[in-house]
Amino acid sequence: MELTAVPNLDFFYPHPGMKFKNGRYELLRRLGSGAYSTTWLVYDEMAEDFCRYAAVKNLTRAATDEQKSGTMNELAFLKAIAAIAPDSSLPVLLDDFEIVGPTGPHLCFVVTLMGLDVISFRRSAPNKALRPYIVKKIISDVVESLSVLHESGIIHTDVQGNNVLFGGVDPDEIKEELENHPPEVIGQFELSDGTKHYVFAARPFIGPARWNMSHLKSEAQAYRLIDLGHAQWAGQQPTVTTFGSAALRAPEIVIGSDFGPHIDIWAVGCLTYELLAGESLFNPVGKDDREMEVELLSQIFALTGERYSELILSRAQWSDDFLDKEGNLKGGNVLNPTSVEARLSSRGFISEAEVKLAADFIGQCLKVEPANRPSAEDLLGHTWLYGAWCCNPDH
């Protein structure tokens, strides 16, 4: 294999068979990666037989430094969850340690092993949408996770489908998967000291669940809300100013006002629509961040029919960048009014009864006034979510 260009050395590039923490964890396969980490399947030599497989999240050098400086607090959040709610639908921290790579130390978290993300799962369906009873179970588990986080004073800030994974992987399935799909080298590079390193393809565990699984199997499936890398402590000054992907960003974040747990509830509404409809609820585009956020606000106002309250505007840092003195957008397209119910109905494959209840659930999440959104605990009692547990296709 020919040498490729040296990749981003902020990352650590391990290989299958490498062992961490004095030989305790043997790396088996790369599972995935993000902007600040890679995740690997490991075999734990010291664990009980039923839980010998786990996942190691290996942070970049920059993310490791930010953990130590307090800009990122994922380790602190994981430890808080492990102490307060170890049985929740959140990642369970099993261990943490540092390894040293060519450019310095990298922090590692060992967490319970999980499967595929729900966006990849959604895209496996012919119409790119999931059946309502499956969506209800996913969203129920996400909201339950948020209830635990918010009760613990933690704001996730990045609720999206890529951060919701199937929970629990059968050890026998892991062995079969490793036999059928061994690690795949997709590149190699050489450092200045002459050492060669390999880049391995990421392959998450897909598992046995299918887009058309039965009501009974759906009810038995568990989902975990992961990635607390951008999470924040409620009631404290945020360590960053921008949160989440633009399409799921709450309107108060755009103008720098009223940061709090309610931004997670907004994202739940957007995610619910995406899983049901097979498309994003908002799709802002622009040549720069400001133009994109103006377009986002234009779409939000057209969908909800709501505007910022005077109270929200009085506390905003950047309202003058987006709004004139009358509260109208500076620029942006003038869009025809619509509604969540109309958008869901237009997809053509969701029943009328389902549309009404789902639209009410989503609409409750998408109040422009943050104080008018329900808490995660309140959302768990919404009628639409009852179908997550009773296996009734009419709910």
pLDDT in tens, 126-145: 999 999 999 999 999 999 99
Task: Consult the annotation and say whether 57 binds a ligand.
Answer: yes
**With 60 as the cut, is the pLDDT of residue 3 above it?**
no
Within a 10 A sphere around the Cβ of 375, how many other Cβ atoms?
15
Q: Which residues contact 183 (CB under 8 A, 6 or more apart)?
A: 16, 28, 29, 30, 200, 201
Alpha-carbon torsion (372, 377, 383, 388), positive or negative: positive
Nearest to 362 by CA among 294, 290, 269, 262: 269
- Gap between the Cα atoms of 306 and 283, Å rounded: 18
Q: Which residues contact 22 (CB under 8 A, 6 or more apart)?
A: none
**With 60 as the cut, is the pLDDT of residue 2 above it?**
no
In the predicted model, what is the mean pLDDT of residues 246-261? 94
Hey, what CATH topology would domain 1-112+170-204 get? Answer: Phosphorylase Kinase; domain 1 (3.30.200)
Q: What band does 119 get if pLDDT is binned at 50, 70 and 90?
A: very high
**With 70 as the cut, is the pLDDT of residue 4 above it?**
no
List, for residues 338-354, the tens digit of each pLDDT value: 999 999 999 999 999 99
In the predicted model, what is the mean pLDDT of residues 154-162? 97
Domain ranges of the chain: 1-112+170-204, 114-167+209-395
In the predicted model, what is the mean pLDDT of residues 52-68? 95
Using a pLDDT cut of 90, give the percent of the chain over it.
Answer: 66
**Phi–psi pair at 155, nearest 5 degrees:** -105, 125
Long-range Cβ contact pairs of 118-125 (< 8 A, separation 24 or more): 118/161, 118/164, 118/165, 118/166, 118/223, 118/275, 119/160, 119/161, 119/162, 119/274, 120/204, 121/166, 121/209, 121/211, 122/161, 122/211, 122/274, 122/275, 122/278, 124/210, 124/211, 125/211, 125/212, 125/278
74 dihedral zone (left: phi>0; alpha: psi -120 to 50; beta): alpha
Q: Which of 7-11, 135-139, 267-271, 352-356 has the lowest mean pLDDT?
A: 7-11
Q: What is the pLDDT of residue 158?
A: 96
> Hey, what are 23's tokens?
């030989």
Q: What is the pLDDT of residue 137?
A: 96
Sheet holding 104-111: strands in order across? 19-20, 25-33, 37-44, 53-59, 104-111, 93-101
- Gap between the Cα atoms of 46 and 342, Å rounded: 55
Query: What value does the mean pLDDT of the chain take?
Result: 91
- Gap between the Cα atoms of 2 and 189, Å rounded: 9
- In sequence order, the β-bridge partners of residue 363 are none
Hey, what CATH topology would domain 114-167+209-395 get? Answer: Transferase(Phosphotransferase); domain 1 (1.10.510)
- Gap between the Cα atoms of 320 and 95, Å rounded: 47
Q: What band does 114 get if pLDDT is binned at 50, 70 and 90?
A: very high
In the predicted model, what is the mean pLDDT of residues 33-42? 92
Question: Which H or E element spans position 67?
Answer: helix 61-69
The number of residues making up the chain comes to: 395
Within a 10 A sphere around the Cβ of 357, how many other Cβ atoms?
19
- Gap between the Cα atoms of 395 and 384, Å rounded: 7
225 CA to centre of own chain: 6
Q: What band does 292 get if pLDDT is binned at 50, 70 and 90?
A: very high
Is 331 within 8 Å of 284 (Cβ atoms)?
no
Is 330 within 8 Å of 292 (Cβ atoms)?
no
Is 382 within 8 Å of 361 (Cβ atoms)?
yes
Q: What is the pLDDT of residue 394?
A: 47
